[in-house]
Amino acid sequence: MPPSTPPPAVLAWRDHDAQARTLPGMSLGRIPLAPEPGAAERLWSMGARRAELDSPVDLVTSGPVAARAAIDRLCLVRDLTARAVQVDWDLRLPASHGDETWKVLSHLQPPRTASGLTDPETALRAWRTRHYLCKLVWRKGPGFLQIRDRRWGDLRRFTADDPRYPAAVARLDRGAHRSDVAADILEELTAEHLVLTAGDLVWWLPYRVARWLQEAMAV
């Protein structure tokens, strides 16, 4: 990470409920987080069930520092969503692609605000009312990788047995430069809206679910 990029930080509480959060011992205070795997797990182990990001996820501002900051915060939103931790966050989208991008991100916990949309109120209402856990998940089996995508209203399932895919996903998970991923794999994942581009970085959208709402076979 560039040294000028501040790491993500959150305000965290032990309960979702607004009234319960005011009780003694429910606030975990402000927690700075290293932009690396395990940040969401650390928050969960501390007892966090609701978290508020320190700054918006900004996909408008250009430059490598801004792109890295946006991806670091999206990683946190994605990984907390996988644990069913409620996340309070704000999103800035480029006006030229905002209406497309929010649907690509609709498997994440809905943000409080989203700028750059033609009709923010309608889009956010749709995001909130149609969101549920496991909307875009992936799993790794013996010799294959599978993605299940319900962002578009139906189930779209992709299975890859090319051994290069797990390595590509590992690179993309925290955001990687395009040149770090095999061009044919990146082209295919981009066509299926499984990666998000932020500046020179590309980022893996699906999460590995950490909490099932029902039996795994039913998801």
Residue 4 lies in a domain: no
What DSSP state is assigned to residue 7?
Answer: P
Residue 21 is part of which domain span? 9-130
Q: What sign has the CA pseudo-torsion 196, 190, 106, 27?
A: negative
Say yes or no: 121 and 190 in one domain. no
**Statement: residue 27 has pLDDT above 50:** yes
Q: For position 141, what pLDDT does the model report?
A: 85
- With tokens 């089996």, the residue in question is 141
Say yes or no: 59 and 126 in one domain. yes
pTM > 0.85: yes or no: yes
Say yes or no: 55 and 108 in one domain. yes
Residue 96 lies in a domain: yes
**Statement: residue 63 has pLDDT above 50:** yes
Q: What's the rounded mean pLDDT across residues 16-22?
A: 88
Residue 71 lies in a domain: yes
DSSP states along 72-120: HHHHHHHHHHHTT-EEE-EEE--TTTHHHHHHHTTTSPPPSEEES-SSH
pLDDT tens digits, 145-174: 999 999 999 999 999 999 999 999 999 999
What are φ and ψ of residue 139, in 5° steps?
-145, 155
